[in-house]
A and B are shown apart, each in its own frame.
Chain A
Amino acid sequence: MKTVFAIASVVIKELYRRKDFYVLFVLSALITIAAGSINFFKDMVMVRYVKDICLLLIWFSTLIIAVITAARQIPSEKENRTIFPLLSKPVSRGQVIAGKFLGCWLAVGVAILMFYAFFILVTAARGGDWQLVAYAKSIGLLWMMVGVVIAMTLLGSVVFAAVSSNATICLVVIIGILFLGEHLNKIARRQAEPTGSITYTVYYLIPHLEIADVRNLLVNNKPMPSLKACVKAALYDGAYATTFLYFTWLIFRRQRLNT
């Protein structure tokens, strides 16, 4: 476990050094502040649209950071040939995968916390309610969902040749799931057989990342899901992340590294 944490800490340091997070954070902050400073009909109490825009930017930025960070981990180790000294130490390929995943997951978790801190400040500045429990649940759900995204991208990084192709494919799949995932059952019901059954199977097989999307509840001040439901969602995400990491390890353990 110590080895895994050591690899993870390197990944976290890498995120600090790179500019991706800072650029996305500043961009999100600027857009949110610009939107929040607009005075509609001399009424500064309107807060929902600011929350909506800010949360959308947080989701967008988090997913970009997660995919880009995870996608380059293993390919850059291979390209720089640092994978050889890493594996020549008493480090197994499974530990490399686990360390990379943990590092990305923790690093993105820190980014999410910073984004949400800004979100809470902006909401409070516009006179919004302090919904700390709701924010905590929202952060937790997003963080667990990002775990699946990172695991999926790591799997992609051992399957696809280039970082760019992996990142693009992963983003397309993730956006597709977020937009269509929960509606596939409705689509399946309108389709003729066997397409309907195939679509329904896909509906059950894909990781439903959109479960974590509780922005609508937050924006409209609706009660958040119960703790029990959140724990179930976390377990659901955990199961998918583990599955993706297992497949990553299955492919990576037999993969030639000097290609």
Chain B
Amino acid sequence: MKNVSPILMVAFLATLTFTLATEVESEFRKTAANVSGDGAFTKLLGDGRRLFSGQSVAMADVYLHSGFYPSIFDSVENKGVKVLETSDDHDDHDHHGHDEHDDHDAEHEKAMSFMGPPRDPLDAFIRNFRVTQHSHLEAGEQREVLPWLKLAIELDPQAIETYIATSYWLRKNLKHTEDARDVLREGIRNNPKSYALLYEMGNIYKRDDKNDLKAHNIWLAALRFWREQSADDKAETLDWLGKIADSLADLELDAGNFDQAIQYFELAKTVSPNPAALQKQIDELKAKLPSKTSPAPLLSVPN
């Protein structure tokens, strides 16, 4: 075979690669369009990535408790350690008593006292090298949990609690309301019928934007999606109905729509752990009703 000049060979190969690239690239675009939105983890691990999502949330929990966290062996001894809890209800005038919050904190402390006294001298020695005090991140340090929560979302886009927790920490501790909203939007995109995400989104509009009308509409959508569930699912998520109804009632109350507020309070009462407090509020509102005859037109009760 006659010797070919290396320059010609390189030129030929470059032309060949360029030609093939134009062909392959268009094919790749078509494929990429079908799987748009899939991150690196989806490409690498497929659906198996969901297995690691819980681990990522657990890492966020470990950080939140400054490294003081039960291992799987401790968890067996102390069941029910649930630590990554996020709720705006702590800050607001909800219908749970203070005693209930105190009980919750005491329960949390009890759950986190998994370590107990040293079991033997070696155990006592090893504890010199471990985090042995229960404390939570504070003063903006809560931001440290966010990378793991973001990773957990990437790994399992259907895990509703992760979106809620991420948006909570962004909003409450970092005051990144827009980022929190984006996280919830992403969650709603991936879980369009999630009443929990809609409820949290409504919270942002109500508490941060003071946009009652938008909050009202979003919470109504949340209520509709909650009602569209199967009977079994409804039975398991009654607390969400309580939250949504409670929030809607508060909105109506603020708008002076006592009639509608009473209806929502009645709905919340059916699932409330403290129905007596709600009944008291309903009675007070009913007493005010005759003097308030023309409700504000802003908010309306759904059919």
A residues lining the B interface (CB < 8 Å): 38, 40-43, 45-49, 52, 141, 182-183, 185-187, 189-190, 203-204, 208, 210-214, 216-217, 219-222, 225-226, 229, 232-233
With both beta carbons as reference points, the residue of chain A lying nearest to B60 in the complex is identified as A49
If A208-B126, A232-B125 touch, whether A217 touches B147 (CB-CB below 8 Å) is: no
- Say whether A46 contacts B144, CB under 8 Å: yes
* Binary contact track B41-85/A, C-beta < 8 Å → 1, others 0: 000000000000000000100110011000101101100000000
- Say whether A185 contacts B144, CB under 8 Å: no
Given contact pairs A211-B129, A220-B63, enumerate 14 new A-B contacts (beta carbons under 8 Å): A38-B147, A43-B174, A45-B143, A47-B144, A49-B144, A49-B148, A182-B126, A186-B74, A189-B119, A211-B126, A214-B129, A217-B131, A219-B67, A222-B67
Q: List 18 A-B contacts (CB under 8 A).
A: A40-B147, A41-B176, A46-B144, A48-B144, A49-B148, A182-B123, A183-B73, A185-B119, A186-B74, A187-B73, A216-B62, A216-B130, A216-B131, A220-B131, A221-B66, A225-B128, A232-B125, A233-B129
- In the complex, what residues of B have CB within 8 A of residue A49's CB? 63, 144, 147-148
- Say whether A43 contacts B73, CB under 8 Å: no
With both beta carbons as reference points, the residue of chain A lying nearest to B148 in the complex is identified as A49
- Say whether B179 contacts A41, CB under 8 Å: yes
With both beta carbons as reference points, the residue of chain A lying nearest to B118 in the complex is identified as A185
Interface size, chain B (Cβ < 8 Å)? 30
- Say whether A222 contacts B63, CB under 8 Å: no
Min CB distance B139 to A, Å, is: 12
- Say whether A41 contacts B146, CB under 8 Å: yes
B103 at the interface (CB under 8 A from A): no
Q: How far, in whole Å, are A210 and B130 apart by their CA atoms in the complex?
A: 10
Min CB distance B23 to A, Å, is: 31
- Say whether B119 contacts A48, CB under 8 Å: no
Q: How far, in whole Å, are A204 and B59 apart by their CA atoms in the complex?
A: 30
- Say whether B77 contacts A213, CB under 8 Å: no
Min CB distance B67 to A, Å, is: 4
Q: How far, in whole Å, are A48 and B119 apart by their CA atoms in the complex?
A: 31
Q: How far, in whole Å, are A190 and B77 apart by their CA atoms in the complex?
A: 10
- In the complex, what residues of B have CB within 8 A of residue A204's CB? 122
B150 at the interface (CB under 8 A from A): yes
- In the complex, what residues of A have CB within 8 A of residue B73's CB? 183, 186-187
- Say whether A225 contacts B129, CB under 8 Å: yes
- In the complex, what residues of A have CB within 8 A of residue B66's CB? 220-222
- In the complex, what residues of B have CB within 8 A of residue A43's CB? 143, 146, 174, 176
If A186-B119, A203-B122, A222-B66 touch, whether A46 touches B147 (CB-CB below 8 Å) is: yes
- Say whether A42 contacts B179, CB under 8 Å: yes
Min CB distance B53 to A, Å, is: 16
* Binary contact track B168-202/A, C-beta < 8 Å → 1, others 0: 00100010100100000000000000000000000
B120 at the interface (CB under 8 A from A): yes
- In the complex, what residues of A have CB within 8 A of residue B130's CB? 216-217
Min CB distance B168 to A, Å, is: 13
Please report which residues of chain B, range 96-129, place their CB below 8 angstroms from some CB of chain A when the two chains form the complex: 119-120, 122-123, 125-126, 128-129
If A41-B174, A43-B174, A182-B126 touch, whether A220 touches B146 (CB-CB below 8 Å) is: no
Most buried by B among A49, A212, A229: A49
If A185-B119, A186-B74, A208-B122 touch, whether A217 touches B129 (CB-CB below 8 Å) is: yes
- Say whether A213 contacts B174, CB under 8 Å: no
Q: How far, in whole Å, are A213 and B128 apart by their CA atoms in the complex?
A: 11
Most buried by B among A40, A141, A189: A40
If A41-B179, A48-B144 touch, whether A229 touches B128 (CB-CB below 8 Å) is: yes
- In the complex, what residues of B have CB within 8 A of residue A52's CB? 59
- Say whether B170 contacts A41, CB under 8 Å: yes
Most buried by A among B76, B126, B146, B176: B126
- In the complex, what residues of B have CB within 8 A of residue A40's CB? 146-147, 150
Q: How far, in whole Å, are A221 and B129 apart by their CA atoms in the complex?
A: 13
If A43-B174, A187-B73, A217-B67 touch, whether A222 touches B131 (CB-CB below 8 Å) is: yes
Q: How far, in whole Å, are A47 and B146 apart by their CA atoms in the complex?
A: 11
Q: How far, in whole Å, are A40 and B128 apart by their CA atoms in the complex?
A: 34
Min CB distance B246 to A, Å, is: 30
